[in-house]
Amino acid sequence: MKTERRHDLETNELALRVAHWIEKVKPYTGRITIAVLALVGLLAANSVRQSFSSDRQESAWDAFALANYTTDQELMNLQRVAEKEEYAGTRMQEWAYITWADRQLLLASQYYLLDRGAAEDRLRRISGIYEEWGANATDQQVRDRARFGLARVFEMQSKPEQARQQYALVQGDLQPLASERAKQLESERVQLAMSWLASAVLPRRDATGGSGASSTRPDFGVEFPSTTPGKTPLDTRSIEEILGVAGDRPDSDRYDQGTSSEDGTEATESAVEDSAVDVKDETTADQ
């Protein structure tokens, strides 16, 4: 009985407290309702925003993948994707800019000795991108890649001290490679090589083979046959004269069918032998 009585008293006391608080809150019921509705609205808006942001991020990465799937070594499609306003502020934008800049750095290193002006122009264009994302990227990997890339730019511009400063800021997976390169830049031999690279130009091939302008006939090393003065280079005699079968006979006798085959054969063989001797003598005289 005492336990039940004590329970009833506690219940009554709780009911009295609740009733008391209700009376105190009644004047503020409208405000509380508005606050609750506002909180529910904020939660709903945040849910919609997160859903939209997720869809936006997914769309951005799809565009990144398509832009990379190309045979264009300049990656111009990736640059256009990075510059789109609809993807501003996304992680994809950071990666798109840094990937495009890395490709330009690679091309600049390949053309540095062949086309110095074009290579330096590429370096100027990407140095600002590296500086921006090296300081402001939300992704630590992007910041490290930007700092590493900027150090490489400084190397190609023959600025070893600035390159070492950027290498010192690199963290993560690239940190060992950056530290090793920064140590190498302290070598005088490496600095001399860097200075030489900044001014060296590959020799250009002479398309004329050293003969000057294209209007000048190049010397192909061909020796033309010499001719003996007073002699015709080509034998203009007729075949009959060469064979010695024409002689002073009339045309009708040339094909005389009455001549025996034995005599004709002997005459022809004799004429051929005489002609061969004449040709040999002329050849010996020319030499």
143-176, pLDDT tens digit by residue?
999 999 999 999 999 999 999 999 999 999 999 9
Place 64 in a pLDDT band, splitting at 50, 70 and 90. Answer: confident
Find, among 202, 199, 148, 136, the residue nearest to 172 by Cα.
148
- Is 84 within 8 Å of 95 (Cβ atoms)? no
Lowest mean pLDDT among 13-17, 105-109, 202-206, 221-225: 221-225
In angstroms, the first-to-last Cα distance of the chain is: 154
Q: Give me the residue label for tokens 């400063």.
A: 165
Place 195 in a pLDDT band, splitting at 50, 70 and 90. Answer: confident
Q: Delimit the domains of the chain by residue range.
A: 15-47, 60-199
218 vs 78, higher pLDDT: 78
Q: Is the pLDDT of residue 4 over 60?
A: no
Q: Is residue 22 classed as helix, strand or coil in its secondary structure?
A: helix
Q: Is the pLDDT of residue 220 over 70?
A: no
Q: What pLDDT is stored for residue 209 in this prediction?
A: 56
Which of 243-263 are b and which e, b meaning 16 or more Cβ less than 10 Å from the residue's Cβ?
Answer: ebbeeeeeeeeeeeeeeeeee
Name the DSSP class of 216: S
H-only helix segments in 200-260: 239-243, 251-254
H-only helix segments in 138-257: 140-156, 160-169, 175-184, 188-199, 239-243, 251-254
Q: Is the pLDDT of residue 210 over 80?
A: no
Q: What is the pLDDT of residues 117-146, one digit of tens each?
A: 899 999 999 999 999 999 999 999 999 999
Q: Is the pLDDT of residue 12 over 80?
A: no
Q: What are 147's two structure tokens?
A: 């700092």
Please tell me the distance from the alpha carbon of residue 220 to that of residue 207, in angstroms, as a whole number: 14
38 vs 5, higher pLDDT: 38
Q: Is residue 66 classed as helix, strand or coil in its secondary structure?
A: helix
| Residue 173: how many other CB atoms lie within 10 Å | 10
Classify the phi-psi angles of 198: left when phi > 0, otherwise alpha if psi is within -120 to 50, otherwise beta. Answer: alpha
Q: What percent of the chain has pLDDT over 70?
A: 52
Q: Which of 12-16, 110-114, 176-180 has the highest mean pLDDT?
A: 176-180
